[in-house]
Structure 1
Amino acid sequence: MTEPKRLFEQVNDYANRADPYPLYAEMRKTPIIRQDDGSYIVSSYRLIKQLQHDPRISVDIRKRPPSDLRGQRAREMSSRGRPVPFLRLDPPEHDHIRRLVTRQFGPPHSPDMIDSMRGELAQLVHELIDRFQGRSRIDIVDDFAYPFPVSVICRLLGVPREDEARFHVWADALVASLDPLPQATGDQQEMGAEQAALEISQYMGELIAEHREHPGSDMLSRLITDYSPEGPLAPADLVVTSVLLLIAGHETTVNLIANSTLTLLRHPDVLERLRSDPELVIPFVEEVLRFEPPVQFNGQRTAIADITLDGVTIPQGSPVILMLAAANRDPERFPDPERFIPDRQDNEHFGFGDGIHYCFGAPLARLEVQIALNALVRRVIEPRLVIDPPPYRQNALLRGPRHLLIDITGIRQSLHFTGT
């Protein structure tokens, strides 16, 4: 049996990427684990729920102890005028920027924006599936799960789709830097992320200048021209927020589509049910978010005061890692948690986080995945897994297949479905 304080190392070991869930079950036996580096691992649903609503937990990496290397670098960049993305800010700074961004994204200021995209999303999905014609093998990740949300976020923001190859490289480097125990050395990883951050920021700055001169109906143009009572986003905040939206707007959705497809193919009875009952896709996606979440844990938290939970005190300044995927299978919260139940009721999972940092892009991600899966199961004939488990991405935090090869007999002609 692995020592409790070594379990997080095992979760990050690529050898366990295909199935980290037995390790999470071991973690829950000691719901608060202090690691040798002074960080604390929290894995129970009840405690994570509490901490995600606790103002004594900060997401601002600049509030890490002086000895923390990433905290030092964040403070240095901030001192040089490079702002922190609002997802890494605490109130009131977080709330101010989030309000300005969500004005352009959905309710209450743009209540119909997401729903009005149904037809366009369906068209994109069916165009991708049309390309499967004449093929007997496809890669769900490269051929479907990646290009679909990338196209969506590019259209939404007003980013040229032909620039995808450029920001793909930058996104990979930035996402890799989120891994708490990367395969590369820390210096190599940080240097790659630093260069990527500089290049993508320069790219977005140039694109913002173009949209400022020739605004359109896209979200980037609306952010530039929106003069709400709170005022527009500061230029530097606009750049870093645009980068965040571009990357966060597709990375987790890629994993969610791939994880959903893999789950369907592992449960052929559920696939048949979904084919005959399209509305099943709504609870199905929620169960995937619980059972195979695209974000496995959150390591960007710091205790800014002493916090005592169940007799354990997390000292001020300690990094705190919330094991969201472990909590999603906590038997104290979910009946029969290790079983995939496509129409599970009372499914308040942490697939999109919780509290004030709940993913504000969740409505769009849900709709994208619902439309993608319903189109896939109706049109692809006899899909079969080639390799199970498939090869996974290196990143332990953003867990999903790197490739998902399936054999197919063919595809049915599109009937131009426009929703779930």
Structure 2
Amino acid sequence: MTRTSTWQQILDPSHRADPYPLYTELRKTPVVRVEDGTYVVSTYREIVSLLHDPRLSSDARNLPEVGADVAAQYEEGLPGLPPNFIRTDPPEHDRLRRLLTRNFGPPHRPERIDGMMSDLLGIVTRLIDDFTGEDGSGTVRVDIVDDFAYPFPVTVICELLGVPREDEPRFQVMSGAVIETADPTTGGIVERQRRRAKAVADLGQYFAQLLDARHGRRGDDLLSGLLSGDSDEAPMSREEILSNAALLLVAGHETTVNLVTNGMLTLLRHPEVLDRLRRGDEPDLAAHVVEELLRYEPPVQFLSSGRNTLDDIEIAGTTIPKGSPVALVLASGSRDPGFVTDPDRFDPDREHNEHLGFGGGIHYCFGAPLARPETQIALTQLAHRLKNPRLVADPPPYRTSPSLRGPRHLLIEIDGVDPA
């Protein structure tokens, strides 16, 4: 078996339920060039090194073929938006991230996330109440994805951004189009970048209409904060607001859906941990469970989407030439036996868990301060309230994306729910 064939198997949807044995094979060669010219990095130390290396760019415009295509689009007058902050490099990245952070959380808005905790619990409570109707009794079948893990973070991100919750059917299609372009099996990088630009432009148009409909009225949501520009530095342009709002809407729910669903599936496969969470006599257990989930079953399996080298980079005995696309397999790195003992065991009691579930370096997950409590509250309430939950099918059906990995549906049966 060659390394390239291992990578092709990882991309194959038939291996989505359990890609981890393939990652073990992949790690035998820490850095390998695959069929499309991408350099795939799969071991912990090498991934961490590149996450902190300024020679690894997140701006796809630095790829020769992508840059030429962007220039051609500009000459053709095709509509588009500037890259969002996770697709830029310093100093542009740093400016955009500062402005977003100022309106999202600490240090400027420390009350933003803390103030949402009661709302998060209220949303979760209502969703679980709906599992069995008003009396909360009877054996019923529930889809954790459709009935819980999807509507929960969608409702949260809509409230945070100031987006009408009833618009979900409208932006779901556009969000799905953006997510599809992260899948390397759906075409070459130039083609995917073009489709992504179109999908983001469509979402940007949605946000433009949303902002215009406000007629200058501002609220306490994140979009209003960006529009107010209450910073010492120049505010974002309208186009930058639209581009980054599209990112936050997509990233603010798509990854959390998978994290919550992967979490419930893992707990049902490890009933001893589910029982501990249900008892509720270990105050820090939920936090440890979520950290171990981010290592063991992360919603983001690898990072690519335009990452490329600005110079030749020597790593693990391999030279990655300047201008090469790079994929960092975070899920493989977090299960690297050179980094963690007994990596294929789910163990929320690990003393040290420096996982790669939220990436690292300057692009460390912007939404981590919200994703953590969302998942802790979701899994804790499911554990406390569901009576005798059990899987209907294991493994469940999975989404096709190899990078944003999670079940498409997670059917369980319960014997009712306990009161909130």
Return the TM-score normalized by structure 2.
0.93
Moved more, 340-349 or 73-82: 73-82
8 Å CA contact 2:81–2:200 kept in 1: the answer is: no
Q: 2 CA distance for matches of 1:177 and 1:357? A: 19
Aligned residues with identical type, % of pairs = 53
2:389 paired with 1:389: no
Q: 2 CA distance for matches of 1:189 and 1:303? A: 19
8 Å CA contact 1:211–1:220 kept in 2: the answer is: no
Q: Provide closer, same or farther for how the CA distance between residues 78 and 298 of structure 1 changes in structure 2, counting only shifts above 3 A.
A: farther
2:140 paired with 1:140: no
The one of 288, 292, 295 aligned to 2:297: 292
Moved more, 317-326 or 207-216: 207-216
Name stretches of at least 5 consecutive residues in structure 2 with no aligned partner.
134-138
Q: 1 CA distance for matches of 2:43 and 2:91? A: 28
Q: CA deviation at 1:115?
A: 1.4
Deviations 1:363-404 (A, max 9, x none): 100010001111111111000000100000011110000000
User: What one-letter code is carried by the residue in structure 1 that aligns with 2:113?
Assistant: I
Aligned length: 409
8 Å CA contact 2:69–2:190 kept in 1: the answer is: no
Q: CA deviation at 1:408?
A: 0.4
Which residue pairs with 1:418 in the alignment? none
2:371 paired with 1:371: no
Moved more, 79-88 or 244-253: 79-88
Q: 2 CA distance for matches of 1:172 and 1:370? A: 26
8 Å CA contact 1:285–1:369 kept in 2: the answer is: yes
The one of 328, 333, 349 aligned to 1:327: 333
Which residue pairs with 1:173 in the alignment? 177
Q: Provide closer, same or farther for how the CA distance between residues 146 and 40 of structure 1 changes in structure 2, counting only shifts above 3 A.
A: same
Moved more, 395-404 or 196-205: 196-205
2:264 paired with 1:258: no
Q: Secondary structure at the match of 2:185?
A: coil
Q: CA deviation at 1:226?
A: 2.1
Q: 2 CA distance for matches of 1:167 and 1:190? A: 20
Which residue pairs with 2:287 in the alignment? 282
Q: 1 CA distance for matches of 2:276 and 2:246? A: 39
Which residue pairs with 1:130 in the alignment? 129
Matches within 5 A, 1:191-340: 193=196, 195-211=198-214, 213-277=216-280, 278-300=283-305, 301-340=307-346
8 Å CA contact 1:382–1:409 kept in 2: the answer is: yes
Q: CA deviation at 1:279?
A: 2.7
Q: CA deviation at 1:214?
A: 1.0
8 Å CA contact 1:49–1:354 kept in 2: the answer is: yes
Which residue pairs with 2:136 in the alignment? none
8 Å CA contact 2:30–2:316 kept in 1: the answer is: no
Which residue pairs with 1:417 in the alignment? none
Return the TM-score normalized by structure 1.
0.93
Matches within 5 A, 1:65-214: 65-66=64-65, 70-76=66-72, 82-134=81-133, 136-182=140-186, 193=196, 195-211=198-214, 213-214=216-217
8 Å CA contact 1:4–1:27 kept in 2: the answer is: yes
Q: Secondary structure at the match of 1:181?
A: helix
Deviations 1:145-178 (A, max 9, x none): 0000000000010000000000011111110111
Q: 2 CA distance for matches of 1:374 and 1:75? A: 50
Which residue pairs with 2:18 in the alignment? 19
8 Å CA contact 1:290–1:325 kept in 2: the answer is: yes
Q: 2 CA distance for matches of 1:75 and 1:49? A: 32
Q: Provide closer, same or farther for how the CA distance between residues 155 and 5 of structure 1 changes in structure 2, counting only shifts above 3 A.
A: same
8 Å CA contact 2:157–2:252 kept in 1: the answer is: yes
Q: 2 CA distance for matches of 1:366 and 1:77? A: 39
Q: Secondary structure at the match of 1:213?
A: coil
Q: 2 CA distance for matches of 1:106 and 1:365? A: 13
Q: CA-atom RMSD, angstroms?
A: 1.8
Q: 1 CA distance for matches of 2:216 and 2:119? A: 27
Q: 1 CA distance for matches of 2:381 and 2:200? A: 36
Q: Secondary structure at the match of 1:321?
A: strand
Q: 2 CA distance for matches of 1:162 and 1:207? A: 13
Deviations 1:64-96 (A, max 9, x none): 123xxx554445556756201111000000000
Which residue pairs with 2:414 in the alignment? 408
Q: CA deviation at 1:193?
A: 4.4
